[in-house]
Amino acid sequence: MYTLSGIMGLTKTNQLRSLLHPSSIIYLNALDLCILAVSFGSASFHAMPCFFTQLLDEFPMVVLAQLYVAALLNAKDHLMRSDGERGNHSSNLTIYVITVNALITLTALCVYIVYEAFEIFVHLFTLLITIVVVVAGMVVRQGHREVGRGKMSKVVIEAAPSLYMSVLLILLGRMFWEFERSIYTSQTCPYSAFSPSFWLHPLWHTASAAAHMKFVDFCRHISIHATPPAQSTVGSSGSKLERVKVEPQSAINDRAYVRSRLSQ
């Protein structure tokens, strides 16, 4: 499922690249490449269980959580600049959040590697996903608070259902995972595929992969409507430069097509 979600995400971003800011393309592709790395690490750990392959499984998950925050804040910055609001403050906040997030992660990972305590990773990943949800929730809340004041409000509110679905799916996946862990610790693991609990781990993978796809859809939807940077051109009087927003006609047509599809 992780492989499928990664390939589908890369394909979709490539199809819509004419509508996306170059930095948004980098972040969105990085998210889907990272979920492919999670797929490889998970397969390695299930095939050859050891601490090294466990790190191959878990390290990409931690990086992915960092990228979720970075991609979301990057898209939000573009929208805020397109509305002409708080561009510098927002960029500084983005750098601050990402830096603090990375320092917490590096510290926890070092402790985890030294002591090989799986619970440290569990708490770290839970914290990182909570930060992702909080940041996304702040973006949606700001969109609702600024109704009618600019592009950000309309775009964020349109994209919000994808975020809500992503949160529900990851909570559902976490419920499957916790139930599976309780069976494992009680040493009552099923051996038959006919037992419902046998499928708890595949259900965790399916739900988390689907949550990833919906979250990337949320970021992509915001990024699609982030206006490209203004470009300079000579004014009609020819005496000075004026700031105007230039957009290729093909991109305008593609944007109208995407909006019509999203409204259906």
d(CA 158, CA 141): 13
Which of residues 158 and 110 earns the better pLDDT score?
A: 110
Q: Where are the domains of the chain?
A: 2-228, 230-264
Asked whether residue 89 carries a pLDDT value surpassing 70, the answer given is no
Tell me: the pLDDT tens digits for 53-73?
A: 989 888 999 999 888 888 888
Q: What are the pLDDT digits (tens) for 217-247?
A: 988 888 777 554 443 334 444 444 343 344 4
pLDDT digits over 12-68, tens only?
988 888 888 788 888 899 999 999 999 999 999 888 988 899 898 889 999 998 888
Q: In Å, how far are 15, 105, 155, 167 from 164, measured between CA atoms? A: 25, 25, 15, 5
Largest CA distance in the chain: 81
Binding-site residue ranges for Zn(2+): 46, 201, 205
The pLDDT score that the predictor gives to residue 209 is: 92
pLDDT of the residue at 242: 40
Binding site: what residues are annotated? 46, 201, 205
Residue 73 · residue 94 · CB < 8 Å: yes
Kindly report the pTM of this predicted structure. 0.75
Contact of 20 with 223, CB cutoff 8 Å? yes
Q: Which CB contacts under 8 angstroms, 24+ apart, belong to 193-201? A: 200/176, 201/176, 201/177
CATH code for residues 2-228: 1.20.1070
